[in-house]
Amino acid sequence: MTNHWIDIKNTDCCLIIGSNAAEHHPICFKWVIKAKEERNAKIIHVDPKFSRTSARSDVHIPLRSGTDIAFMGGMINYILANNLYFKEYVNDYTNAAFIVGPGYSFNNGLFAGFDPKNKIYNKKDWQFELDEKGNVKKDPTHQNPRCVIQVVRQHYSRYSIQKVSDITGVAPDVLQKAYDAYAATGKPDKAGTILYALGWTQHTVGVQNIRTSGIVQLLLGNMGVAGGGINALRGEPNVQGTSDHAILYNILPGYLPMPRANMPTLKDYNKLTTPVSKEPESVNWWQNRPKYMVSLLKAYFGKNATKENDFGYDWLPKLDVAKSEHDGDASYLYFFDRMYRGELKGGSIWATNSANTLPNTNKNRKALANLDFLYMAEIHQNETTEFWHGPGVDPKKVKTEVFLFPSCHRAEKEGSISNSGRWALWHNKAADPRGKSRPMGQIMIDIMKEVIDLYEDEGGKFKEPIVNLNWYRKYDAELVSKRINGSFTSGEKKGKQLTGFTDFADDGSTASLCWILAGSFTDEDGNKLKRRSLLQTPMQKSIGLFPNFAWAWPMNRRILYNRAAVDKNGQPWDLARAVIRWNGTEWEGDVPDGGAPPMAKKGGKSPFIMLKDGLGQLYGTGLVDGPLPEHYEPVETPVRNHGFSGQLSNPCAKIPTSDLDIIAPPADPNYPIVLTTYSMTEHWCGGSETRNVPSLLEAEPMIYVEMSHELAAEKGIKNGDPVIVESPRGRVEAVAMVTVRITPFRIQGRIIHLIGMPFAFGWTKKGIGDATNRLTLWAGDPNTSIPEYKACCVNIKKADKVTELA
Amino acid sequence: MPSGYHITEADMSKTFFIDTSRCTACRGCQVACKEWQGFPANKTTQLGWGSHQNPPDLNCFNYKVVKFSEFKIKDRVFWNFFPDQCRHCTEPPCKIAADAHVKDAVVIDKKTGAVIFTERTKKISKGGFLQMKEYCPYNIPRRNEKSQIINKCDMCLERVEAGHIPMCVKTCPTGAMSFGEREEIVARANTRLAVVKKEFPEAALLDADSVRVIYLITHKRDQYHNNAMMEKPLKDASPA
């Protein structure tokens, strides 16, 4: 979230799209309801299914799964065509005036520079035009047809309400009302927020879905302000914390890019990953990246990291260069593909139920059996820990040696968790671990200690990264937090905790495991994750900001990009909802995004300090699949064409090609129904924990499939009937839940049905059903490799007999 | 102040307010209730049922069940939620019925006004139990067939006596539930009703005069699950 949970109460319009907020983030609805009651805010829910979120919204807009860019593109067009954008904000704080280079083009669904063989773009032609000094050329009058706002305007002029209606299935008058309601926040004294979650990310156009919100929020001046922002709802699985600490293959902690093969030395890494901006008003914060990287290496390797050995940079793994859509991709999409192809020997799976929650489960379960060994840490036995004796598997024929470390529960250990608003919060231990279970951190430390000992005693190939680690003796959550914050490793302040970003150096004199959390654990204040004070100034109180409760990265800033919440003189766009304010000598309110004075003053800086040029990017060159979002169908789609271009699906989508990755052709009559999958309030993710909580299993006991009365009538299915759902990849038994909450879609003049299924059920709990993901497909977003769980094609029939349900 | 109910100076009795316009049916209350009571789970299934409402109804191990009701009016879908529980009537007809069989099997806690089913309910005959059920306008009493105890929501009396609020209220994330002294709660309910009526003209407080669990509903009673209905007016309930 750019903002935080409480801040939702400050909004005038809450657009919930790609999220079932009330069910998956129940607490957040406290603030949504407050906004509705206290500000008369409009709550708009855009989602294929009418859910508990829709029930508490002013309007529910059902759209066919996978057509969000059409919906949002229509809104961008509506805002621009009707001149509803916030002019001063767009002029001063976005790249609207930047001139795109002459090589840019967009023809029939493809941007300039596409390489169809390797499914990647060469982004050379997307870049901005530079003057002789190397500065971006600009047209403040916005008349140049190649200036960003004109390029955006032209691109989305194709997204007429009728066309959007035709592909999304939303009636034109409903679209117009929604666009009007949301565009009304494009005024200085109005704020609109966009809440999204996995309903946006889990598509082959996932990142571009989110980009549409970036464009809308910048046009309406909603970034940085209270009640605004782009708010990715992240929840109990600590997605925020795991992202911050890089439980992903392509980043290092603190969102530092993973080194690649074309960066053999630290110098190469710094050169290729550190942005350079010549814009005088740009802070370009990432120019500090080398400091954060060296400090991370110092934290990893301690005294073994020296200037002479590049601080151990050689010891980090390097990803292949992305010469095609799949090169250098070590995400689970290709990991499981390689496992299935027998290219992996063994590994570990921690705290994720891969044999249930990853798409195309039948492939993944086969892949696991190709390993020689697998070790896991879990609280409960689940479909992954037990894969070797799952349905249809003969344990005698599985060669994989499986080790299971019993992990204790969250409540049985202390530690930190980061909430969606980037607050790092400490939690205490409530009870002792049961049996021989231990915290996962302890299990990990002990395993690694053994590995280090083995390498030290026996040697081995490339032992340096292991034996040189600055490893722990025992697990102490607070010690880890201390190291995350970081400390000085030499000089006068040696041993002292870092107080913030400005302490970092690139000469090895500082060490930190995650630079963004610097300032969270200081010598003066101790572990700030434990703070629970409600102390606030009247200004902070007026927007529900609690700076002394826990600690938020970066630097305890509660609303990111808050310098865009004020005009060039540092005065709030909306006094009643002031986030920060320049009082003539300093900033008041939230911790400002950098201490520089307002833009109109001497030394003033542009507000978007994390972006190279300091300005919000209506048009951006950062993503691999296009500088502007464009509607493409899901990889498996019920339509043959979508009317926006001849390019049916994302040309850069990541799709593995094994014999089990079978994909139905477009508009396949054998699989005419759209399936979308989801979680629910009562079960947590893959369900392996919550299925073992009797009162939760009582509340949601069995796999179901939600469908419309119309489809049920067509198929002769009654509510409560057992049914079989089939895709080209698998077959799943479920119970029919026939409901008015799912309505058929009218797409291009014909009816398309959609059904929805939860993925929380699995065979290790008898009779409740098995993995829904046997139906879904491995097809990933080109930027993140996140699979397209939200849309694939299936068929459904009444079951004569069932074996998975009882 | 609604007519027909007079608060005396010494009346520190308690009341719940359940504002269904704020309820998201997260079922935190349902689960917290049975966890606090230490009740086992019922075996539930979707086969032949096909609903999120699980368990389907109140039972001796679920004092609270969130009821779901979905319908369409002119193409607009509505999904109404109703966290059903004992209303702790100010003049509980179940007590009238029970007293006719086993005196003081049902008692009213003097301080809070909570209607409490005691262990003595064990001794109530099958016929007596049926009569209690029949008298209850909301179909609340349930019997544990094994222990023969008749039970239902006890207002978390132990918690309340120790200065805490009932578990369901404690758990509610959206402010749909509140609990406190009757006068204050009734005032809150009336204030809230006036606000909600602007959006939902049919909004009403259910039987506020005669119960200690006041529901605010946004639609007509029959657009909720059956138990939102008062199946027969209280005044008809007299001892057999």
The C-alpha atoms of residue B40 and residue B31 are separated, in whole angstroms, by 11
- In terms of CA atoms, which chain A residue is nearest residue B64? A699
Contact B28 A26 (CB under 8 A): yes
pLDDT at B238 over 60: no
On chain B, the residues whose CB falls within 8 A of the CB of A743 are 77
On chain B, the residues whose CB falls within 8 A of the CB of A741 are 70, 77, 79
CA dihedral A353→A356→A362→A366, nearest 10 degrees, is 20
Q: DSSP class of residue A63?
A: -
Q: Which two tokens stand for residue A239?
A: 């997605």
The C-alpha atoms of residue A647 and residue A108 are separated, in whole angstroms, by 7
SS3 A733: strand
On chain B, the residues whose CB falls within 8 A of the CB of A702 are 44-47
Query: In 10 A of CB B151, how many CB atoms?
Result: 24
The C-alpha atoms of residue B27 and residue A357 are separated, in whole angstroms, by 24
On chain A, the residues whose CB falls within 8 A of the CB of B42 are 698
Rg (CA), chain B: 17
Contact A681 B26 (CB under 8 A): yes
In this prediction the pTM is 0.96
Q: What is the pLDDT of residue A247?
A: 87
Q: What is the pLDDT of residue A480?
A: 97
Q: What is the pLDDT of residue B1?
A: 38
Q: What is the pLDDT of residue B228?
A: 64
* Model pLDDT for residues A70-115, shown as the tens digit of each residue: 999 999 999 999 999 999 999 999 999 999 999 999 999 999 999 9
* Model pLDDT for residues A504-540, shown as the tens digit of each residue: 999 999 999 999 999 999 999 999 999 999 999 999 9
Q: What is the pLDDT of residue A237?
A: 74
The C-alpha atoms of residue A653 and residue A792 are separated, in whole angstroms, by 14
Identify the band that residue B239 occupies on the pLDDT scale cut at 50, 70 and 90.
very low
**Which residue, among A539, A534, A585, A535, has the nearest Cα to A562 in the 3D structure?**
A539
Q: How many residues make up chain B in this entry?
A: 240
The C-alpha atoms of residue A8 and residue B174 are separated, in whole angstroms, by 13
Q: Average of pLDDT values for A227-240?
A: 90
* Model pLDDT for residues A354-392, shown as the tens digit of each residue: 999 999 999 999 999 999 999 999 999 999 999 999 999
**Alpha-helix residue ranges (DSSP H) falling in A184-288:** 198-201, 206-219, 239-244, 266-273
pLDDT at B236 over 60: no
On chain B, the residues whose CB falls within 8 A of the CB of A736 are 50
Q: Hey, is the C-beta of A706 within 8 angstroms of any chain B C-beta?
A: no
SS3 A21: helix
Please report the beta strands in A452-517, taking only residues with DSSP state E, as ranges in sequence order: 487-488, 510-511
* Of B40, B47, B77, Cβ closest to residue A50: B77
Chain A closest CA to B221's CA: distance in Å? 17
The C-alpha atoms of residue A167 and residue B75 are separated, in whole angstroms, by 20
Q: Hey, is the C-beta of A531 within 8 angstroms of any chain B C-beta?
A: no
Chain A closest CA to B48's CA: distance in Å? 4
On chain A, the residues whose CB falls within 8 A of the CB of B52 are 700, 737
The C-alpha atoms of residue A580 and residue B53 are separated, in whole angstroms, by 47
Q: What is the pLDDT of residue A415?
A: 95
Chain A closest CA to B43's CA: distance in Å? 6
Identify the band that residue B240 occupies on the pLDDT scale cut at 50, 70 and 90.
very low
Chain A closest CA to B176's CA: distance in Å? 9
Q: How large a percentage of chain A has pLDDT more than 70?
A: 100
Q: Hey, is the C-beta of A8 within 8 angstroms of any chain B C-beta?
A: no
Q: What is the pLDDT of residue A759?
A: 97
In this structure, of A481-490, B44-53, B62-71, B231-240, the range with the lowest mean pLDDT score is B231-240
* Of B35, B45, B51, Cβ closest to residue A737: B51
Query: In this prediction, does ipTM exceed 0.85?
Result: yes
* Of A52, A700, A738, Cβ closest to residue B24: A52
Instruction: State the pairing for strand pair A750-752/A673-678.
Output: unpaired
Chain B closest CA to A554's CA: distance in Å? 28
Residues on chain B bordering chain A, Cβ-to-Cβ distance under 8 angstroms: 22, 24-28, 30-31, 34-35, 39-52, 54-55, 70-72, 77-81, 173-175, 195
**Contacts across the A-B interface (CB distance below 8 Å):** 105
Q: Average of pLDDT values for B156-178?
A: 97
Q: What is the pLDDT of residue B227?
A: 61
Contact A30 B55 (CB under 8 A): no
Chain A closest CA to B49's CA: distance in Å? 5
Q: What is the pLDDT of residue A206?
A: 98
On chain B, the residues whose CB falls within 8 A of the CB of A805 are 47
**Which residue, among A288, A286, A283, has the nearest Cα to A607 in the 3D structure?**
A283
Q: What is the mean pLDDT of chain A?
A: 97
Identify the band that residue A238 occupies on the pLDDT scale cut at 50, 70 and 90.
confident
The C-alpha atoms of residue A101 and residue A99 are separated, in whole angstroms, by 6
On chain B, the residues whose CB falls within 8 A of the CB of A52 are 24-26, 79, 81
On chain A, the residues whose CB falls within 8 A of the CB of B40 are 694
Q: Average of pLDDT values for A616-640?
A: 98
On chain B, the residues whose CB falls within 8 A of the CB of A697 are 41, 44
Q: What is the pLDDT of residue B229?
A: 59
Chain B closest CA to A303's CA: distance in Å? 49
**Which residue, among A677, A675, A631, A736, has the nearest Cα to A20 in the 3D structure?**
A677
- Unique residue bearing structure tokens 């990893």: A300
SS3 A592: coil
pLDDT at B172 over 90: yes
| Secondary structure, 3-state, A672-689 | CEEEEEECCCCCCCCCCC
* Of A29, A698, A736, Cβ closest to residue B24: A29
* Of B35, B45, B80, Cβ closest to residue A695: B35
Contact A30 B49 (CB under 8 A): no
Interface mutation target, options B24, B52, B170, chain A, most CBs of A under 10 Å: B24
On chain A, the residues whose CB falls within 8 A of the CB of B70 are 739-741
Q: What is the mean pLDDT of chain B?
A: 91
The C-alpha atoms of residue A633 and residue A645 are separated, in whole angstroms, by 11
On chain B, the residues whose CB falls within 8 A of the CB of A698 are 41-42, 44, 54-55
On chain A, the residues whose CB falls within 8 A of the CB of B79 are 50, 52, 54-55, 741
* Of A53, A698, A741, Cβ closest to residue B41: A698
* Model pLDDT for residues A711-745, shown as the tens digit of each residue: 999 999 999 999 999 999 999 999 999 999 999 99
Q: Are A230 and A421 in contact (CB under 8 A)?
A: no
The C-alpha atoms of residue A739 and residue B53 are separated, in whole angstroms, by 13
List all residues 6 or more positions away from A802 whose beta carbon is below 8 Å from its beta carbon.
A722, A733
- Unique residue bearing structure tokens 């094609």: A793
- In terms of CA atoms, which chain B residue is nearest residue A707? B50
Q: Hey, is the C-beta of A36 within 8 angstroms of any chain B C-beta?
A: no
List all residues 6 or more positions away from B191 whose beta carbon is below 8 Å from its beta carbon.
none
* Of B30, B41, B77, Cβ closest to residue A694: B41
Q: What is the pLDDT of residue A351?
A: 86
Please report the beta strands in A501-635, taking only residues with DSSP state E, as ranges in sequence order: 510-511, 521-522, 526-527, 551-552, 580-582, 587-589
List all residues 6 or more positions away from A492 whose beta carbon is below 8 Å from its beta carbon.
none
In this structure, of A34-38, A347-351, A578-582, the range with the lowest mean pLDDT score is A347-351
pLDDT at B186 over 70: yes
CA dihedral A98→A99→A105→A109, nearest 10 degrees, is 20
Instruction: State the pairing for strand pair A373-378/B204-206.
Output: unpaired
**Which residue, among A783, A788, A759, A782, has the nearest Cα to A771 in the 3D structure?**
A759
Q: Hey, is the C-beta of A409 within 8 angstroms of any chain B C-beta?
A: no
Contact A736 B50 (CB under 8 A): yes
pLDDT at A609 over 60: yes
Q: Average of pLDDT values for A130-147?
A: 96
Output helix, strand, coil percentages for chain A, rounded to the nearest 5.
Answer: 30, 20, 50
Q: Are A374 and A402 in contact (CB under 8 A)?
A: yes
The C-alpha atoms of residue A708 and residue A755 are separated, in whole angstroms, by 8
